[in-house]
Structure 1
Amino acid sequence: MEWIILLLGIVIFIYFRTKTVKGVKNISTADLKDMLNDKSKQLVDVRTPGEYKARHIPQFQNIPLDQLPSKVSKLDTNKEIVVICQSGMRSARAAGILSKAGFTSVYNVKGGMSRWS
């Protein structure tokens, strides 16, 4: 009985960690390459300043995830927004924050900087 509860807990955890938020599209790093020079998109890297300084994509501005809620008003809700982090987990959380803040077109880079070459 205990293993069933544990298994159910794991399934629920995985479901909520991988489900997409309404208005959020997951894209690959190959898709991202086509968006980098599109001035109609906002590009936000939600990693820490240290991670960003060590390695980043020049077109992205750094707004760490823990600062995003207080800085979301500085972003344009009418523009599409692309978020990236190291692996795609923090950017998925950031995408949810942005979606709840009124952004209707949010892209999350699957695999993040770990998959960027």
Structure 2
Amino acid sequence: MLLSLLAYLIGETNIPDTSYQTVDIELAKELLESGEYTLIDVRSQSEYDDEHIIGAHLIPCEELETRINELNKDKNYMIICRSGNRSKKACMILAAYGFKNILNIDGGIKKWYNTNEKVSKH
């Protein structure tokens, strides 16, 4: 399965996106407020330091596989990045490792920031 994921990431094949769902900002906010999901920010440390959603846990996309043991397969995770590309890759990685309850936030923090809600700027 990992080879399939790698092939997908470099554009060699098409893996269907059925292993996770993409949600819009409004639904993402509702689900986070419910406490049922943990938000994972997969941007870089410097991007996170510039601005991030309050309560988000930083695990940069390039570190996700080496830090996978920090996450629990039985929990629900919502993934965000700047615009949605890295979060989609992160969702595919999590799915390849057997995570089931994964949501990708459509539009990333750029779209979230436009709502002017729960963003910490440094």
TM-score (structure 2 length as normaliser): 0.77
Q: Report how far residue 90 of structure 1 moved.
A: 0.3
Q: Is residue 103 from structure 1 mapped to residue 103 from structure 2 by the alignment?
A: no
CA contact under 8 A between 2:32 and 2:38: conserved in structure 1?
A: no
Q: Is residue 92 from structure 1 mapped to residue 88 from structure 2 by the alignment?
A: yes
The CA distance in 2 between the partners of 1:38 and 1:63, in whole Å, is 22
TM-score (structure 1 length as normaliser): 0.80
Q: Is residue 47 from structure 1 mapped to residue 60 from structure 2 by the alignment?
A: no
RMSD: 1.7
Moved more, 68-77 or 32-41: 32-41
Paired residue total: 102
CA contact under 8 A between 1:81 and 1:107: conserved in structure 2?
A: yes
% identical aligned pairs? 29
Higher helix share: 1
> How big is each residue's C-alpha offset from its partner over 1:31-86, in whole Å with a ceiling of 9 and x where there is no partner?
11102233332210000011111111012100000000011111010011100000
Instruction: Show structure 2 runs of 5+ residues with no match.
Output: 1-10, 116-122
The CA distance in 2 between the partners of 1:20 and 1:56, in whole Å, is 29
56, 67, 70: which one aligns with 1:74: 70
2:22 is aligned to 26
Q: Is residue 115 from structure 1 mapped to residue 100 from structure 2 by the alignment?
A: no
In our comparison, the structure showing a higher alpha carbon Rg is 1
